[in-house]
Amino acid sequence: MQHRIIVLGGGYTGALAAGRLARRLHREDVAITLVNAEPDFVERVRTHQLATGQDLKPRPYSEMFAGTGVELKLAKVTGLDADRKSVTVAGVNGAGSTAPGSGAGIEELSYDTLVYALGSGWNAQGVPGVAEHAYEIAGRPGALRLRERLAGLGAGQTVVVVGGGLTGLEAATEIAEARPDLDVALVAGGVLGDWLSPKGRAHLRKVCGTLGITVHENTAVTGVEADRVTTAGGAAIPAAVTVWATGFAVNPIAEETTLEITGTGQIVVDATMRSVSHPDVYAVGDAALAMGPGNKPLRMSCASGTLAAWQAADAIVARLTGGKLPKVPVRYFNQCISLGRRNGLIQYVTADDRSVGAVLTGRPAAVYKEMICKGAAWNVANPTFGLPVRRRRVTGKPAAAGSAVEAAA
């Protein structure tokens, strides 16, 4: 009998984990299924580019996993029973698995090992009017919807981006650069770039000024209407389009299970990304509460998720083959922020993600960020980079303690 591994979610972490497992375990021993609602890998770190009319390189999973033995099931996850070790999925647009002879509609999939990588989406934060009137770029559907709306705007109309974090900064600057005829505003709950170093904040403020972005600092949005946002101070900011970028909320599927989760719905995992309540479940990326340096939770990001996926995949391999448990040191080196296509900001940080004085700015930073984005997508298609391609046989023997793998953030 093959050991059945199901990976839920084909984002950076899920796709990377599936590919790494397939390339490190013998096909005769395992059956690996990746469940995802779309047939193509989405470069989520580029959705602000997609929203402004730029075309991204197609990355179909059929090409990415060609020859690996990974089966792609085009479906939406609708339920998980962690005690019965089964997943319920619904075929997308009448499609079930891409495998010949597969059925459509509702299916129940059984697993021996589950990798939960359903990630996160936008977070309306309970603010009235957001769901009805705001746009988001947490995924491709939202980015394409915003793309169509922006294309229909005339000169002089106002776009308000709510959220002063990385997503909000990248969205506001990308829109302002691509559409200099629009009036772009950014609403931040605190001081602009308050987590950055003084040099980082100064560069960010300079870029916003150069692009003509109006910045509303220390401003809380309490409501969104079709043509404006309202603030806690009673002010109304005109907005033909409101882009909501105030953070992410994890997929709610785990909340309906017996898995141990946090108040935000993240699955609690140990150092190997294994659920602390269900040893057959691993969680990676935004869906997991994993601890990093300084015993601080890892932030939701591609940087965190990539290392978590490596750790989870290698831990699964070790436990199935009787090898040594890996220890991937999860730490941060920098935060990479695109500020349009020709400018950027690389803020160097400590291992636990606190800003230091050093920054890289301008065109060199834009080139650096582009290399990081390309590298992240390349890693998904080449998940065993730096390791010998050697498939191991499943033995069922317990994994030994120790460190077998090291990686850099």
Length, in residues, of the chain: 409
Does residue 27 carry a pLDDT above 80? yes
What pLDDT, on the 0 to 100 scale, is given for residue 160? 98
What is the three-class DSSP state of 177? helix
Alpha helices in 179-250 (DSSP H): 198-210
Domain 3-119+251-332, second-level architecture? 3-Layer(bba) Sandwich (3.50)
DSSP state of 258: S
Same fold, 3-119+251-332 and 126-244: yes
C-alpha dihedral sign at 322, 323, 324, 325: negative
pLDDT digits (tens, 9 = 90+) for 352-397: 999 999 999 999 999 999 999 998 888 888 776 555 556 677 776 6
- Residue 78's Cα: distance from chain center in Å? 20
Q: Residues 63-111: pLDDT tens digits?
A: 999 988 999 999 999 999 999 999 999 986 544 444 433 445 899 999 9
In one-letter notation, the amino acid at residue 12 is: Y
Beta-strand relationship, 120-122 and 248-250: antiparallel
Of 235, 237, 281, 232, whose CA–CA distance to 260 is shortest? 281
pLDDT score of 403: 39
pLDDT band for position 14 (cuts 50, 70, 90)? very high
Q: What share of the chain is helix, strand, coil (3-state, %, to 5)?
A: 30, 30, 45
Written as six digits, the tokens of 365 are 């930073």
C-alpha radius of gyration, the chain, whole number: 22
Hey, what are 128's tokens? 């009235």
**Unique residue bearing structure tokens 């999860």:** 330
**pLDDT value at residue 397:** 60
Domain segments of the chain as ranges: 3-119+251-332, 126-244
Rounded CA separation 315/308 (Å): 10
Buried b / exposed e over 173-193, threshold 16 CB at 10 Å, is bbbbbbbeebbbbbbbbeebb
For 26-70, strand residue ranges (E) read: 30-36
How many Å separate Cα 150 from the centre of its chain? 24
Q: Kindly report, residue by residue over 101-137, the tens digit of the pLDDT.
A: 344 589 999 999 999 999 999 999 999 999 999 999 9
Residue 408 has pLDDT above 80, yes or no: no
- CATH code linked to domain 126-244: 3.50.50.60
